[in-house]
Amino acid sequence: MWKKSSSDRFEYLQTLVTEFQDTDSDEAKEQVLANLANFAYDPKNMEYLRELQVADLFLDMLTEENENFVEFGMGGLCNLSMDPECRDIILQSGGIALVTNRLSSRREETILSAITTLMNLRTPSSRSEITDPAILQCMLRFSLSESPRLRNLAAVFLQDCCSEEQVARAEQQMQGQQQTAVGIPLPKD
């Protein structure tokens, strides 16, 4: 019985992905994307979502203009990247750069998902890329933010994902005017 229901689930997810690809309506796309991102929260679905290459679908959303697409796609990645196998897939698809670019989003939820995703993507081999000075400087700025959620999450990143020397170096670079633009919100058109 369980076997049957699990294949039902796969089919359902497949229908969602198909609708996402076929529809021309942005509204429907947003709804399906949010659905898929929420399905990614439950570890029971990870296997199916991997098979359906939903990680790549989410990554594609990060370069969209529509900010809802970006927010939902990033939320989906945040959920997916908790799973070690999905994390590896995201890393292979060049996820770090795409996610890092969205640290400059104007939406807090997008930024929060991006930070958590970056923390999830940390592996022995990706560590150097994730502790890039540009990202650390960005986290230092976030840690001074007025939003408590952003401040806390940036603090966790700085305390857990990199060494104190790395933070100190990033701080020096910030004072020495070698600032990067990562994490500075984009201007409104």
Which residues form the interface with another protein (CB under 8 A)?
2, 4-6, 8-9, 12, 15-16, 19, 27-28, 30-32, 34-35, 37-38, 41-44, 46-47, 71-72, 75-76, 78-79, 82-85, 87-88, 108-109, 112-113, 116, 119-120, 122-124, 147-149, 152-153, 155-156, 159-160
Provide, rounded to whole angstroms, the least separation between the CB of residue 88 and another protein: 8
The nearer residue to another protein, 124 or 176, going by C-beta atoms, is 124
Joined together, the tokens standing for residue 142 give: 């976030």
- What are the Cα distances from residue 141, in Å, to 13, 71, 103, 121, 150? 39, 21, 11, 21, 10
Closest CA to 74 of 47, 53, 101: 101
The nearer residue to another protein, 155 or 181, going by C-beta atoms, is 155
Joined together, the tokens standing for residue 51 give: 């098979």
Q: How far apart are CA 164 and CA 140, in angstroms?
A: 12
Say how far residue 112 (Cα) sits from the centre of its chain: 8
Provide, rounded to whole angstroms, the least separation between the CB of residue 177 and another protein: 29
- First-to-last alpha carbon distance for the chain, in angstroms, is 54
The nearer residue to another protein, 93 or 180, going by C-beta atoms, is 93
Provide, rounded to whole angstroms, the least separation between the CB of residue 176 and another protein: 26
